[in-house]
Amino acid sequence: MSKPTALLWFRQDLRLQDNPALQAAARQGSVLPVYILDDSNSGNWAMGAASRWWLHHSLTRLSAQLDNRLIALSGDPLKIIPQLMDAHGIEAAYWNRCYEPWRIKRDSKLKKQLEENGKQVHSFNGSLLWEPWTRLKSDGEPYKVFTPFYKNAVARGVELESILGEKPALRIADAEVHDTSIDRLKLMPDITWYEGFEEVFTPGESGAWEKMERFIEKGIYNYRQGRDYPAMENVSRISPHLHFGEIAPHRIWQLADVAGQRNGCEAQAEYFQRELAWREFSYSLLYHFPTLTEENMNPRFNDFLWLEDRELLRQWQRGMTGYPLVDAGMRELWTTGYMHNRVRMVVGSFLVKNLMQHWIHGARWFWDCLLDADLPNNTCSWQWVAGCGADAAPYFRVFNPITQSQKFAAEDYIRRHVPELAALPDKYIHEPGAAPESELAAAGVRLGVDYPAPIVDLRASRERALDAYKSLKEAD
């Protein structure tokens, strides 16, 4: 008697190795692998354009691993999955859990619907080191500050064996489903601004492993110091792979452990793992405070007088602010789908404090442009910069893009992404407005023509922001 077929629903776990739902489904018999592009339930947070580019390539490579038999559909899983199961006589569905509020709501509804119809549902943790309900304070409340969250989580350990495992032997079920090609999902954007993405990233499971191996070889030994320097190669750039589940966080944690011990850089590896824990903290926050994507975590900021200036916002988006480090970061984002973490903090601070634009504008732009656009991380990071989130940056912390650029030696980074300034000497490339006319002329730079003059005065805008934040604080 043949074993039954199990439906495996791929979501944010586009890999074969270290995939607990896949391993469990494969043990039961043949597997019907399915991916569903769900723009029906996502509300305001449907996948952005850069993420769709990544998804197209990741699904293509995943399907190749599955003998090109991945069933790729678009629509509402609440309708599609029951129909697939009924059509193929499938009694059990398997998936790895997702944690965004809209996905939780959808999955809970689907599970109830399937179970009421006599179907089995098996869900697993394939995406987090610590699921949000497993690392709480002693009183059962969620943490709002990172350090105690981290200490509690690490003290209780990481259960590597719960996820780590080899690629299972798969027997893929025969299925008659029409129009299941990945191309029909129409994930590729209409405009080809994404051509630079492929120079930096290779979506898919093998690309994730290659990126991690390169980081271990060239970056982890000096991670804590080097990660702040945008021109250095000490960051992992693993975040898009991690977001799409092409590599498990447990595997990354383990690889960092092994690399630290082997190379005698345990402290560097631990600091890298700490950054993984920040991702976990963001997931915990959004799980316990599901309105964070639209609302300030600190309600005092509901009365904050943000400015509404579409032209300032547009100049920030285009990387035409007149501040080279900000512009380099915004152009890196546009051309590569990625931005260095130090620079993310600088451009975020510049938008919400120097330009006084609402953090939601930054969150939505990043959501559309980032390959690693991750709802918990994106939301919590922007609220952190704005000062209205959990464990937020103090209101008086305003990143100065000039001193940040000088401190972290961003000369080569600026030359790469703001080529019109490439001929300026190091002394002036951080602040072209301070360069003598002779230096500007020698470099072929005319401020306001070849490169914009600063769109806002740093000192005056900083004082304006501090006054606004201080008045909010005093009114509390």
Catalytic residues: 275, 278, 306, 341, 359, 382
* Contact yes or no for 237/215 (Cβ under 8 A): yes
**101-116 vs 266-288: helix axis angle to the nearest 10?**
70
CB within 8 Å of 420: residues ≥ 6 apart? 445, 450, 451
Pairwise CA distance, residues 78 & 254, whole Å: 36
Pairwise CA distance, residues 354 & 341, whole Å: 19
CB within 8 Å of 473: residues ≥ 6 apart? 395
Pairwise CA distance, residues 433 & 448, whole Å: 10
Pairwise CA distance, residues 434 & 420, whole Å: 16
3-state secondary structure of 281: helix
Beginning with the edge strand found earlier in the chain, give each strand of the sheet holding 71-74 in spatial order.
Answer: 71-74, 31-37, 6-10, 92-96, 120-124
The DSSP output letter for 353 is: I
Read off the tokens for 270. Answer: 């631990």
